Amino acid sequence: MKKIYKPSIVYYEDKFQEGKGVLEENGEILEVTSFEELLSKYKDAEVVEWNENIMVPGTTNIHNHSFQSLLRGIAADKPFLEWRDKSLYAFSPKLSAEDLYTGAVFAFGEMLKYGVTSVSDFFYVHNDGVESDEAIIKAAKDVGIRLVLARTMYDWDGAPKGYVETIDEAVKNVKNLAVKYQGNDMVKIVPAPHSLHAASVAMVKAGHKLAKELGTNYHIHIAEEPFEVEQVQKEFGLRPVELLNKIGVLDESMVGIHCVWLNDNEIKLMGDNKAKLAYCPSSNMFLADGVTDIPAMMKAGVEIGFGSDGACSNNRISIFEEMRMCALLQKVTKLDSLCVNYKDVFSMGTEIGGKILQLPVGKIEKGYKADFVGINKNDMSMQPIFNSGEQIMPNIVYSMQPCAIDHVVVDGKERVRKGEILTVSESKIVKDVQKLMSKLEK
Ligand SMILES: [Zn+2]
């Protein structure tokens, strides 16, 4: 059945506009035009009134590790490798497929509530096979969030056993899952060779080759910490992006995560080859990784989207939050208040993120998916607003709190109403997480 959304204000054609309606059917936007016109054309359509709401596209979280929501607050404020060993490596081997499901419902539920409608889960706790991957896919389905499962390919044997596969196993598992979910609007599988420190050159090449075969992008962590740069330089005599270029995998299908420690030439290489960046400012700050040079990346023509990263290194999982963090961090690093503006970060968190995930999301326009967020314009954190609407986007980026998010719609279905998740019970999520954590604490 067709629905006409009637928000107070909608972000359409790069402007906040009143009096517009958005026509939706089967999860897709069919038309955006004056509400009166839609109503006269489609008399039988259901009208959804959002009288107090500003409708914006749902946000895209292009880098997350859902199970890490279970590890939030554990071994906080430790150096990177110590945090990794005491948090990730200590707990992830104890997690069964059922526990990973609990973690994913928790993560996806929380981020949905904060306006994330598409998430890429960079998932590596496979525990031999695809049962755990399927648990993540089921969690996304149950919560009602759009999922891009960046299924890792990992062959460094210094990590917990459950992460590690041979190249043949990794290729087979990613491929089988990708084929199984081909054509599914809500689930997409992409290869994700973990990084140059956790995947061999042969594994990275296999991931790139598989992405070509599947017609997808591939995701890879790059130069999050100086240790990776040192390691790659020692072994190959090249810097990370130079190595990726040399082995023939640096192209438009590469989504590089973090890219903190790149030099000018590597940034230029990324731009020249149309590679993409998944930027995680809060996580980089939390782990004291360093500051990715976003103005230089933008100048080089690199498309940039945001990731919250795992909730144990952020520790919030909201893309509106990353918009704010990116703008603030870059301004103070460059001592230039103009270097990244609110419009830049808003489009990174919506439209560009959607492009990087290769999904028709992130824009309210005919042909895009009906993934929306309804922001309460009367929430104190959104005020004041002139009649001209001048403050709307600055307020969304710089002052809005999650309590201003009233509605979240994914694929034309309402998932959050008046701030409450409709698909899964929040109190049950919390109960399940508490039960699991008391088991893990022993
Ligand atoms: Zn990551």
pLDDT average per 10 residues of sequence, the chain (442 residues): 97 97 98 98 97 98 97 91 89 94 98 98 94 98 98 93 95 98 97 97 98 98 96 98 98 98 98 98 96 98 98 95 98 98 98 98 98 98 97 98 98 97 97 96 84
Q: How far is the CA of 440 from the centre of ligand 1 (A)?
A: 23
Q: Which pLDDT score, from 0 to 100, does residue 383 have?
A: 98
- Taking the C-alpha atoms of residue 437 and residue 420, their distance in angstroms, rounded to an integer, is 24
Q: How far is the CA of 18 from the centre of ligand 1 (A)?
A: 39
Q: Which pLDDT score, from 0 to 100, does residue 80 have?
A: 82
Q: Which pLDDT score, from 0 to 100, does residue 442 have?
A: 79
Q: How far is the CA of 283 from the centre of ligand 1 (A)?
A: 9
Q: Which pLDDT score, from 0 to 100, does residue 285 have?
A: 97
| Side-by-side strand order, sheet with 146-153 | 59-64, 116-123, 146-153, 187-193
Q: Element (H or E) spanning 16, and its range?
A: strand 15-18
Q: How far is the CA of 310 from the centre of ligand 1 (A)?
A: 7
CB 113 within 8 A of CB 430: no
pTM, two decimal places: 0.98
Residue among 425, 405, 416 nearest 106 (CA) = 425
**Domain 3-57+372-410 shares a fold with domain 59-356:** no
Q: How far is the CA of 401 from the centre of ligand 1 (A)?
A: 25
Q: How far is the CA of 309 from the centre of ligand 1 (A)?
A: 5
Q: How far is the CA of 25 from the centre of ligand 1 (A)?
A: 35
- 131-143 vs 97-113: helix axis angle to the nearest 10? 30
- Domain regions of the chain by residue span: 3-57+372-410, 59-356
Q: Which residue has the tokens 């460094």?
A: 156
Q: How far is the CA of 431 from the centre of ligand 1 (A)?
A: 27
Q: Which pLDDT score, from 0 to 100, does residue 232 have?
A: 98
Residue among 51, 59, 57 nearest 18 (CA) = 51
Beta-strand runs (E) in 139-260: 146-153, 187-193, 218-222, 254-258
Q: What CATH topology corresponds to 59-356? A: TIM Barrel (3.20.20)
Q: How far is the CA of 49 from the centre of ligand 1 (A)?
A: 39
CATH 2.30.40.10 given to domain 3-57+372-410: yes
CB 32 within 8 A of CB 364: yes
CB 103 within 8 A of CB 67: yes
